[in-house]
């Protein structure tokens, strides 16, 4: 029989795990902040839930934001490609929140389950108190950064309520905030800022997904033509003469690419 302490610990981990996955449609992907820059991830049709595919985020870096965007729209690629306008601003605000988020993560996600399993519920109360205190301090700091995340009073109140009632949601606050930020530009807009090697990998990831989706449409159809235009534009962005899709045709799955 599972003890109540173990049940609570598993529930905490499960709730936190829900903040470490983003579900995207076939034409969507994620820009993820990583230790050495930005990582691009796109949907993978091998796993689909209610029409969307999961992209997993590193559970040990809750302070790094992630942004949901679309690909395949040539007209939405910025005239002066680079990181979409709102992304650097949110990344900067996320860096300010880093110590507060990490404190909540240590107390709520690591400390409480460890204390419950090692010393029991009674002796875990001080850790619980510290976790709530860290969450409250995080909410106070977020209040002064709410404009950077485009939070009005109502949205902030809802996030604060959820974060205090459910501490695992407070630990995943940065990702929840950043995934709410609209990225109107196409995901290909940011790859120009990459060095040649990572840029080629990013283009290859988008091209592989584009080639994969093209197989679902009849030759000459409007969708096939749109994807062909996008593939051609990817080659232009990569600075490569010829079709980059030729290097990825026939591959299964989707890769990720990063920039340092």
- Taking a C-beta distance cutoff of 8 angstroms, is the pair 124, 112 a contact? yes
Taking the C-alpha atoms of residue 12 and residue 119, their distance in angstroms, rounded to an integer, is: 17
Taking the C-alpha atoms of residue 217 and residue 199, their distance in angstroms, rounded to an integer, is: 28
The larger pLDDT score, comparing residue 179 to residue 38, is at 179
Q: For position 260, what pLDDT does the model report?
A: 41
Range name among 141-145, 225-229, 240-244 with the lowest pLDDT average: 240-244
Taking the C-alpha atoms of residue 59 and residue 131, their distance in angstroms, rounded to an integer, is: 18
3-class DSSP state of 39 = strand
Closest CA to 157 of 168, 172, 142: 142
Domain chopping of the chain, boundaries: 4-179, 194-259
Taking the C-alpha atoms of residue 28 and residue 249, their distance in angstroms, rounded to an integer, is: 20
- Taking a C-beta distance cutoff of 8 angstroms, is the pair 52, 68 a contact? no
Sign of the C-alpha dihedral computed for residues 44, 65, 113 and 165 taken in this order: negative
Mean pLDDT of 155-163: 94
Record the pTM. 0.80
| Tens digits of residue pLDDT in 189-234 | 777 766 666 677 778 888 888 888 877 777 778 888 888 888 888 8
Q: Is 135 exposed, middle or buried (0-12, 13-18, 19+ CB in 10 A)?
A: buried
The Cα-based distances of 200 to 64, 194, 227, 257 in angstroms read: 24, 9, 18, 9
Q: For position 82, what pLDDT does the model report?
A: 54
């Amino acid at each position: 029989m599972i003890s109540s302490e173990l049940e609570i610990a598993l529930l905490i981990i499960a709730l936190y795990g829900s903040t470490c996955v983003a579900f995207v449609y076939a034409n969507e992907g994620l820009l993820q902040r990583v230790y050495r820059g930005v990582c691009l991830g796109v949907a993978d049709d091998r796993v689909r839930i209610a029409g969307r595919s999961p992209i997993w985020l590193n559970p040990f870096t809750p302070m790094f934001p992630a942004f949901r965007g679309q690909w395949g729209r040539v007209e939405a690629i910025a005239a002066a490609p680079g990181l979409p306008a709102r992304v650097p601003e949110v990344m900067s605000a996320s860096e300010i929140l880093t110590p507060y988020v990490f404190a909540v993560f240590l107390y709520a996600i690591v400390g409480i389950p460890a204390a419950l399993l090692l010393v029991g519920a009674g002796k875990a109360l001080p850790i619980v108190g510290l976790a709530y205190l860290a969450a409250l301090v995080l909410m106070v700091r977020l209040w002064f950064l709410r404009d950077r995340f485009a939070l009005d009073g109502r949205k902030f109140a809802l996030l604060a309520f959820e974060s205090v009632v459910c501490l695992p949601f407070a630990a995943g606050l940065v990702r929840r905030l950043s995934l709410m930020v609209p990225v109107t530009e196409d995901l290909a807009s940011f790859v120009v800022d990459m060095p040649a090697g990572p840029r080629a990998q990013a283009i290859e990831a988008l091209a592989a997904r584009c080639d994969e989706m093209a197989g679902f449409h009849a030759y000459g159809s409007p969708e096939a033509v749109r994807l062909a235009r996008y593939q051609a534009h990817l080659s232009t962005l990569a600075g490569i003469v010829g079709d980059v899709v030729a290097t990825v045709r026939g591959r299964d799955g989707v890769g990720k690419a990063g920039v340092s």
